[in-house]
Chain A
Amino acid sequence: MDSELILKGVSFRYDSQWCLEGIDLELKEGEIVGMIGPNGSGKSTLLKIMDGLLKIQKGEILLLNRPLSDYTRGDIARRIAMVPQESNFRFPFSAFEVVLMGRFPHLGPFPFEGKEDQEIAQHSMELTGTLDLAPRSIHELSGGEKQRVLIARALTQKAQIILLDEPTSFLDIRHKVEIFELISTLSRTQGLSVVTVSHDISLAAQYCQRMLLLNKGSIYKVGEPAEVITADTISAVYQCPVFVDENPISKTPRVTVVSKRKEGKEQRL
């Protein structure tokens, strides 16, 4: 399997303080990597760095074996797509128009999409099960529908790598599972490489081949979910007592927060 994106000793700072230090990561074709870590550990920053939106001060990033800094913005946008945590279209764009915007990096100076662009957009909507939503206005859609439309837009970009910044944080469990199922199907059938930030550790563990646990700007542990997600690592990094066992159905690690009120309750009983 080829490596799509390689990070070697990447460090980044906004000002004098390093936000990220010595990050090494290889993203392989068709792989889903889940990025976890407490708030402020640098997850979103790392995602932006992978997308070339932030310039790193140390280390190097290779996209398809070429330094990321050699690519133009348009070149990157044709290879890497980002799905934001939440997007606010306040104007009545139809879902189809939003998906079609994914063709932006592919269009030449002529500012209109052609027949082929339209077909690509339609196909992406088929793959994400959003074709029925095409004529609907984007701000009439529910959170889950909107996320699926944005994933369709990322597919329309024809990117091989999709970065998702907490795509499920505003969704209920059914829609959370739907999004993860969709990502997982796409990576299997389309060979997409995916990096997704998630706060739902147990759920991410069911779908990701590898997990990356960030702590204060550096990698605490990276590897298969069962290696990364243990009571020790999660408790240490999140500074919150947890209990980890095996999900009886998926056989992946399952995190349970140990409530401090438990003892009190028992006493009252």
Chain B
Amino acid sequence: MRGSEYYRVTPVRVMTTGLVLSGILLGMILFSLCLGPAGISLKDALTWVTGSRSVDQTAWMILFKIRLPRILLAGLVGFTLAFGGVVFQALLRNPLAEPFILGISSGAAVGTIIGIVLGLGFNLGVPLFSFMGAMFTILLVMGIAGRHGGLESSTLLLTGVIINAFFTAVIMFFISTTGGSRLHSMLFWLYGDLSQSRYVQLSIGLPVILAVSGIIYFFSRHLNLIVGGEESALQMGVEVELLKWISFLGISLMTGLVVSFSGIIGFVGLIVPHLMRMVLGADHRLLMPAAALGGAVFLIAADTFARTILSPSELPVGVITAFLGAPFFIYLLRQRGSRWTQS
């Protein structure tokens, strides 16, 4: 049949889509690098490189010690959240599933806060507790989802609401018992804050997140089958249970790390995968890398907006994503609700 080539995901299509999105990502990074209260342009930076002007130490500091790590971390966080969204949507067979909505992000946040209260180090101890918080929440959600694995939208949303309500209470408890000076930074962090970005976080986060997402990507084909029902996936030879555990562990690790860096940033895992699915289709071999790269672009854009809109003061980036995400969520629920709430 003519044109059927078009409906099939080929390695070439994955590569070209990946390259195009990487190009957009690079452009976004450069664009964001030029924006900020201290008006330094990339042209200035280029003149330093070519040596036609001597290096301005302050400007250099702002560009590469403050802005760049923040931009890169925003990209990494967006990458992780969108990727996690895609994987959970497949495993729960529900397009509304997302780390924030399911309460996994707040679970990780509770872990992070407990780690901080216990006085653990930020490089290993705190992320470990975040990971455990995320894992605990995932097991809770899957326990509620039950043996068949799929979650109806209404059950999923109620589960998320209850888990979020409980963890918010735990978080408020810890914040209330913490001294006043730390309160502000903690609250900021809670709403998703990237202003504390350091290269050291990248050096831990980047290799772990790339490795873990690479492993999960290996099972993209299997996720396609799970979307069509666990039983028929099993029949075709997908190791459903094994794949679930790998995904839970992997996504907990990734989400835990990201939350310990940047707090709770919601809706990225909802908006980006949905848009990508509309444009590129549902095949996970294409969707997973596309959503991850798209998530990176999206969060860099959101964070750039967050740090420039009220310049010189800043907004937590989670505020921006929630402003965009909540209406989008309602739109999705209304638009497709009837179909997605069917069992």
Interface residues of A (CB under 8 A from B): 51, 53, 72-74, 76-77, 81-82, 84, 87-94, 96-98, 100-102, 104-105, 107, 111-113, 118, 122, 131, 134-135, 139, 157
Complex formed: what's the CA distance from A134 to B7 in Å?
A: 8
Query: Do A84 and B4 have beta carbons less than 8 Å apart?
Result: no
What 4 pairs across the A-B complex have the smallest Cβ distances?
A: A91-B282, A73-B237, A96-B7, A74-B237
Query: Do A122 and B1 have beta carbons less than 8 Å apart?
Result: yes
Query: Do B237 and A89 have beta carbons less than 8 Å apart?
Result: no
CB distance from A119 to the nearest CB of B (A): 10
In B216-246, which residues have CB < 8 Å from any A CB? Answer: 218, 220-221, 224-225, 227-229, 231-232, 234-238
CB distance from B219 to the nearest CB of A (A): 9
Query: Do B93 and A97 have beta carbons less than 8 Å apart?
Result: no
Choose, from B8-16, B48-56, B159-167, B310-318, the stretch at the interface. B8-16
Query: Do A53 and B235 have beta carbons less than 8 Å apart?
Result: yes
CB distance from A74 to the nearest CB of B (A): 4
Set of chain A residues within 8 Å of B218, measured between Cβ atoms = 111
Query: Do A94 and B7 have beta carbons less than 8 Å apart?
Result: yes
Query: Do A91 and B220 have beta carbons less than 8 Å apart?
Result: no
Query: Do B227 and A93 have beta carbons less than 8 Å apart?
Result: yes
A93 and chain B: residue at smallest CB distance: B282
Query: Do A118 and B4 have beta carbons less than 8 Å apart?
Result: yes
Set of chain B residues within 8 Å of A53, measured between Cβ atoms = 231, 234-235
Set of chain A residues within 8 Å of B5, measured between Cβ atoms = 118
Interface residues of B (CB under 8 A from A): 1, 3-11, 89-90, 93-95, 150, 218, 220-221, 224-225, 227-229, 231-232, 234-238, 277-278, 281-283, 285, 339-340, 342-343
Query: Do B8 and A101 have beta carbons less than 8 Å apart?
Result: no
Query: Do B221 and A104 have beta carbons less than 8 Å apart?
Result: yes
Complex formed: what's the CA distance from A174 to B76 in Å?
A: 54
Given pairs A88-B343, A89-B227, A93-B227, 14 additional interface contacts (CB within 8 A): A74-B237, A76-B237, A77-B236, A88-B342, A90-B93, A90-B95, A90-B340, A94-B281, A97-B8, A97-B224, A97-B283, A100-B8, A111-B218, A118-B5
CB contacts between A and B, total, < 8 Å: 104
Set of chain A residues within 8 Å of B11, measured between Cβ atoms = 112
B278 and chain A: residue at smallest CB distance: A92
Set of chain B residues within 8 Å of A100, measured between Cβ atoms = 8
Set of chain A residues within 8 Å of B4, measured between Cβ atoms = 96, 118, 122, 134-135
Given contacts A112-B10, A139-B339, contact A92 B235 (CB under 8 A): no
Of A53, A112, A113, the most chain B CB neighbours within 10 A belong to A112
Set of chain A residues within 8 Å of B235, measured between Cβ atoms = 51, 53, 77, 81-82
Given contacts A90-B339, A91-B95, A97-B283, contact A135 B236 (CB under 8 A): no
Given contacts A111-B285, A112-B10, contact A88 B1 (CB under 8 A): no
Query: Do B8 and A96 have beta carbons less than 8 Å apart?
Result: yes
Given contacts A87-B232, A92-B277, contact A105 B7 (CB under 8 A): no
The 20 sampled A-B contact pairs (Cβ below 8 Å) are: A53-B234, A73-B237, A74-B237, A88-B150, A89-B282, A90-B227, A91-B277, A92-B278, A93-B227, A97-B8, A101-B224, A101-B225, A104-B236, A104-B237, A111-B220, A111-B285, A134-B7, A135-B3, A135-B7, A157-B236
With beta carbons under 8 angstroms apart, the residue of A72, A105, A112, A157 that contacts B285 is A112
With beta carbons under 8 angstroms apart, the residue of B9, B94, B231, B236 that contacts A90 is B94
CB distance from B233 to the nearest CB of A (A): 9
Set of chain B residues within 8 Å of A74, measured between Cβ atoms = 237
Set of chain A residues within 8 Å of B95, measured between Cβ atoms = 90-91
With beta carbons under 8 angstroms apart, the residue of A77, A94, A98, A118 that contacts B237 is A77
B287 and chain A: residue at smallest CB distance: A91
Query: Do A91 and B227 have beta carbons less than 8 Å apart?
Result: yes
CB distance from B306 to the nearest CB of A (A): 31
Set of chain A residues within 8 Å of B339, measured between Cβ atoms = 90, 139
Given contacts A73-B237, A74-B237, A92-B277, contact A97 B228 (CB under 8 A): no
Complex formed: what's the CA distance from A45 to B36 in Å?
A: 64
